[in-house]
Amino acid sequence: MTKRKSRNQSGDDVLPGLVGQMLVQLGEDPKREGLMRTPIRVAKSLRYLTEGYKTDPKDILAHAVFKEPYDDMVIVKDIEIFSLCEHHLLPFYGKAHVAYIPNGKIIGLSKIPRLVEMFSRRLQVQERLTTQVAESLMDALKPKGVAVVIEALHLCMCMRGVKKSDSYTVTSSMLGAFRKDARSRSEFLSLIRLKRED
């Protein structure tokens, strides 16, 4: 009994109830067989898809920065992203391409996809997601430059509104050398070769 009370106080049992109310407002009967466990499933799904709020980017990057005299471009491309549009709570998904030019420090390569995933697991707009990844890497590494490009398909465009099922959105954030030096920027864009341009 105490355990249940504690869950209620922390808000863990509120979300299924809200989903149930939403089903009623949509004209459904949450007590019918196919929907009886839907509020619990949706609540678990939403918590999973927004678990990025629980992590600070500094916690991901703090112990993965190493001194290294390497000074050429480092690229991690084709990082899968799945996120929820904050305007309609519908998914958008695609690929992120991330590059940086070291300035005496490098980062463990697995941390870059983890950083992308952490920011993706929040209610997002693609533009902000792109900027957050770039600025976090810039803050952690102090590199010569950071570049992030995200290409994604938004279900809010495919399923409603203009209903354009093959329209990809491409966003970029170019910091430091990638913003100032056209050659670095061109090299990065050439190396990632955006899927929609293949």
Predicted local distance difference test score (pLDDT) of residue 13: 77
Tell me if residue 158 is catalytic.
Answer: no
- Is 85 one of the catalytic residues? yes
Instruction: Say which CATH topology domain 2-49 has.
Output: GTP Cyclohydrolase I; Chain A, domain 1 (1.10.286)
Please, what CATH class does the domain formed by 55-193 belong to?
alpha beta
Q: What is the pLDDT of residue 10?
A: 46
Q: Which residue ranges make up each domain of the chain?
A: 2-49, 55-193
Q: Which of 21, 68, 80, 87 is catalytic?
A: 87
Catalytic entry in 85, 97, 117, 124: 85
Instruction: Name the DSSP letter for residue 166.
Output: T
pTM score, whole prediction: 0.87
Q: Which is catalytic among the residues 97, 117, 124, 126?
A: 126
Catalytic residue among 135, 156, 158, 187: 156
Residue 32's contacts (CB-CB under 8 Å, 6 or more residues apart) are none
Concerning whether 63 is annotated as a catalytic residue, the answer is no
Catalytic residue among 51, 68, 80, 86: 86
86 tagged catalytic: yes
pLDDT at 57: 94
Ranges of residues in the chain with a pLDDT under 70 are 1-12, 161-165, 194-198
Q: Which ranges of 88-171 would DSSP assign to H, the alpha helix? A: 111-120, 126-141, 155-158
Q: Specify the pLDDT at position 62.
A: 86
Residue partners of 173: CB distance under 8 A and separation at least 6: 130, 131, 133, 134, 135, 146, 147, 148
